[in-house]
Amino acid sequence: MATRRDFLAGGLALAAGHACGQSNAIAGQRVLVVGGGWGGLTAARRLRQTAPELEVTLIEREGMSAP
């Protein structure tokens, strides 16, 4: 099973590919960020900023996030 750290690393690597001009590879892709703590919010926000064509969804167990 992948850890949260593995998931974040993969998502950020995907965003880095976009920054290098590989936008066709990620067009229409969906990313799910699990957890609304500092890491989850930062990852979701960074993905939205660097790859606006991604569909980024953030889910949090609690009613509000920690930060």
What is the predicted pLDDT for the residue at 33?
A: 93
What is the predicted pLDDT for the residue at 32?
A: 93
pLDDT at 19 over 70: no
pLDDT in tens, 26-57: 678 899 999 988 889 999 999 999 888 889 99
Please, what is the end-to-end C-alpha distance for the chain in angstroms?
A: 27
pTM, rounded to two decimals: 0.59
Task: List Cα–Cα distances, 17 to 20, 30, 55, 56, in angstroms.
Answer: 5, 15, 16, 16
| Pairing mode, strands 30-34 and 55-59 | parallel
55 CB-near residues (< 8 Å, 6+ apart): 28, 29, 30, 31
- The percentage of the chain sitting over the pLDDT mark of 70, rounded to a whole number, equals 73
Q: How far apart are CA 16 and CA 47, in angstroms?
A: 9
In the chain, where the domains are located: 4-59
